[in-house]
Amino acid sequence: MKTLIVDDERLARKELNSILAEFTEIEVIGEAVNADDAYEKINQLNPDLIFLDIQMPGKTGFELLESLEKVPKVIFTTAYDQFALKAFDYNALDYLLKPIDSERLANAIAKLKEEKPGTINQEVQQPHKLMPSDQVFVKDGEKCWFVKLENIRLFESDGNYIKVYFETFRPMIHKSLNALDEKLDDRSFFRASRKHIINLGWVDTIEPWFNGGLMVQLKGGERVEVSRRQASRFKEKMSL
Amino acid sequence: MSKIKIYWLCQIGGWSLFGFANIFTYYIQRNTLDHTDILGELLQIIFYIGSTHFLRHLIKKGNWVTISPLKLIPMALLADLVLGLANYLFLLALFFVFGALIPTVELKSINIFLGILGPTTMYFLWSLLYFSFHYFYQYNQSLKYEAVINEIELQHLKTQLNPHFIFNALNSIRGLVDENPAKSKSAITHLSNILRNSLLMDKKKFIDFEEEMAIVKDYLELESIRYEERLRVSYDISQQTKGIKVPPMMMQTLVENGIKHGISHLKEGGEIKIYAGINHNQLVINIRNSGQYVNGKKPEGGYGLINTQKRLELIYGNSAQMTIANESDKMVLTEIKIPIQVEKPPAQNLPKTG
């Protein structure tokens, strides 16, 4: 697993590096000294996993995740910020307390390996596109989630924000729907209208609607209108 | 001594004294005493004790001490007058029983007036003493209460070591063990010094300035291991500061604050400069750290400062000051001025509390 270590303290990075040496499945491909450095290295090296310190000069670890389009697997490392990680109650999320206990580290790595295969580099990559198995980081007020794109049913634009529908949550992220649309893989996501992007995998029923449009019901119960302009393209996609 | 004991001691002692004084006056005036004088006086004292005890009962039952003075004074005066009248009637009855009642003399209006005024005055004095004692006692209690509260608050404000710091330090030391065993050994010593001090400090109100400086140095040594070239420290400490008493861990808190909210946010790191000296009979401590102070904007940034300010206020009242401000666009200056104390500080004279 290609791994990046993100921590502002040299000794902390060194320490983690030396513990990780025991784990043959982990290949440390780089180190970053702050969030900006990490942002560049993540985009450049495309790691599968990052070890992420929370408190760093400049941006925090959370802010780094928010700025990323596609988020690798994350294991937080922290001296005493386990409280901040309470925000992740909804996700199985791993963190390690510094000084790091190598047994706990082994567990965390084992847990990553257990996750269904195919998550790591098995699809035909389209450059700069987000795959269904990619995860994104969503933060809404005090709560945060790592969400796999395949679990997101619907993106709905709401002013300068996008409402993200998954499970029973619909947090808002600060992004434009157009920018997001460009990043999403159009084999799985479809721009239904000016306001909506739907996940084709979650479509339940389709019925004809006024003016030659369509009404799509998603498996989560949401009803989304597909505009007349998009309707034929939609039919084409669904018939495939 | 309990309140009720004091009460009975004053009641019996006070009225007995009054009785003896009366008898003594009779004796001086008439040079002779008979048993009716003594018996009469005795009964009189018993009546006084009984009637004032009854008044106390009324005061307690009606919770008079909570009534505003404006209402209480007429009420108390009226009660005193009624008791004075009762006392006068009791005396008349007593004279009658002893066969000593001389209606032509006793029933003269001037004598009736004086006969009522005398005991009323006594009751008035009694009420005055009773309420004075009560208010004094209450005031004393509230002072004691305040002292206890201050003590508790001070304990609370005494800064505990930041766990973040401890674990980060341990982590750095762990990383240092292979690289530089000698340095990691000394780091462990610094850390144990700090831990020991912070455990002992709970019991102390003041320590010598140089002891506090030693803690600060241990602390900064450890942070230097963690931040490496990102933390640069310099000291300018006047020899005159030796032996001056300061509240423990106060400087450490402020230095830690400077690192936490200043240096740690800067990618390139920065400086901590510490100055201490004497000026106008005050100990002046300046802590400069790279960064910018944003007033009130960071709620999580305020606790160390607010606690320190409260601590100073509780210990020194108005005679200590703390200020924090941006000295330039790159440097924050935290300044403390505290009165010089070499001997026992005044705060230690507060009532001791269990």
- Rounded Cα distance between B202 and B354, Å, is 15
- Chain B residues with beta carbon closer than 8 angstroms to that of A31: none
Q: How many residue pairs bridge chain A and chain B with CB atoms within 8 Å of each other?
A: 57
| Run of H or E including B70 | helix B69-98
Q: Nearest by CB to A99, which of B171, B178, B227? A: B171
Distances (CA, A) of A129 to A124, A165, A238, B318: 11, 20, 21, 64
Minimum Cα–Cα distance from B267: chain A residue: A57
User: DSSP state, A184?
Assistant: B
Structure-derived torsion over alpha carbons of residues B277, B278, B282, B287, reported in degrees to the nearest 10: -10
Contact state of B266 with A79 under an 8 Å Cβ cutoff: no
- Rounded Cα distance between A225 and A212, Å, is 11
Between residues B349 and A18, which one has the greater pLDDT?
A18
Contact state of B171 with A11 under an 8 Å Cβ cutoff: yes
Q: What is the pLDDT averaged over residues A113-127?
A: 55
The amino acid present at A22, given as its one-letter code, is: E
Minimum Cα–Cα distance from B269: chain A residue: A57
Confidence band (pLDDT; 50, 70, 90) for A122? very low
Contact state of B168 with A15 under an 8 Å Cβ cutoff: no
B298 contacts chain A (CB < 8 A): no
Q: Nearest by CB to A11, which of B163, B226, B267? A: B226
Q: Return the closest-CA partner of residue B249 out of B294, B286, B196.
A: B196
pTM over 0.90: no
- Buried b or exposed e, range A129-159, using 16+ CB within 10 angstroms: bbbbebbbbbbbeeebbbbebbebbbbbbee
B176 contacts chain A (CB < 8 A): yes
- Chain A residues with beta carbon closer than 8 angstroms to that of B266: 57
Suggest the residue from A8, A11, A18 to mutate for an interface test with chain B (most B CBs closer than 10 A). A11
Q: Return the closest-CA partner of residue B173 out of B210, B224, B104, B243.
A: B224
Contact state of A98 with B225 under an 8 Å Cβ cutoff: no
A21 contacts chain B (CB < 8 A): no
What is the structure's pLDDT at A88? Answer: 67
One digit per residue, the tens of pLDDT, for chain B of length 354 reads: 778 888 899 999 999 999 899 888 888 888 887 877 788 888 889 999 999 999 999 888 888 888 888 888 898 899 999 999 998 888 888 888 877 777 777 778 888 888 888 889 999 999 999 999 888 888 888 888 778 777 777 776 666 678 889 999 999 999 999 999 999 999 999 999 998 888 877 677 889 999 999 999 999 999 999 999 999 999 999 999 999 999 888 899 899 989 988 999 999 999 999 999 999 889 999 999 999 988 755 544 556 788 888 888 888 888 999 999 999 999 999 999 999 876 544 444 444 444
Q: Judge whether B198 and B160 are in contact, CB under 8 Å.
A: yes
- Rounded Cα distance between B352 and B354, Å, is 7
pLDDT, tens digit, 9 for 90 and up, residues A33-52:
999 999 999 999 999 999 99
- Rounded Cα distance between A212 and B294, Å, is 58
Q: Nearest by CB to A57, which of B172, B179, B267? A: B267
Q: Which two tokens mark B203? A: 């019991």
What is the structure's pLDDT at B349? Answer: 46
Contact state of A15 with B174 under an 8 Å Cβ cutoff: yes
Residues of chain A above pLDDT 70, percent: 90
User: DSSP state, A98?
Assistant: S
Q: Judge whether B293 and B325 are in contact, CB under 8 Å.
A: yes
E runs forming strands in chain B? 207-208, 231-237, 245-246, 270-279, 282-290, 321-326, 331-339
Sign of CA dihedral A191, A197, A199, A205: negative
What is the structure's pLDDT at B68? Answer: 84
Distance from B163 to chain A by nearest Cα, in Å?
7
A217 by DSSP, 3-state: which?
strand
Contact state of B167 with A97 under an 8 Å Cβ cutoff: yes
Residue partners of B235: CB distance under 8 A and separation at least 6: B217, B273, B274, B275
Contact state of A15 with B267 under an 8 Å Cβ cutoff: no
| Run of H or E including B19 | helix B3-30
ipTM of the complex: 0.78
Interface subset of A 41-60, CB within 8 angstroms of B:
55, 57-58
Residues of chain A above pLDDT 90, percent: 51
Contact state of A98 with B266 under an 8 Å Cβ cutoff: no
- Chain B residues with beta carbon closer than 8 angstroms to that of A79: 163-164, 167-168, 171
Q: Which of A2-6, A145-149, B181-185 has the lowest mean pLDDT?
A: A145-149
Q: Return the closest-CA partner of residue A219 out of A157, A171, A167, A173.
A: A167
Number of neighbours of residue B6 by Cβ within 10 angstroms: 12
* Cα angle B171-B177-B183, degrees, rounded to a multiple of 5: 100
Q: Indicate if the pLDDT at residue A221 is higher than 60.
A: yes
Q: Judge whether A65 and A91 are in contact, CB under 8 Å.
A: no
Contact state of B172 with A11 under an 8 Å Cβ cutoff: yes
Distance from B225 to chain A by nearest Cα, in Å?
8
Q: Which two tokens mark A122? A: 């098995």
Confidence band (pLDDT; 50, 70, 90) for A3? very high
Three state DSSP letters for B268-307:
CCEEEEEEEEEECCEEEEEEEEECCCCCCCCHHHCHHHHH
Q: Which two tokens mark A48? A: 């599968």
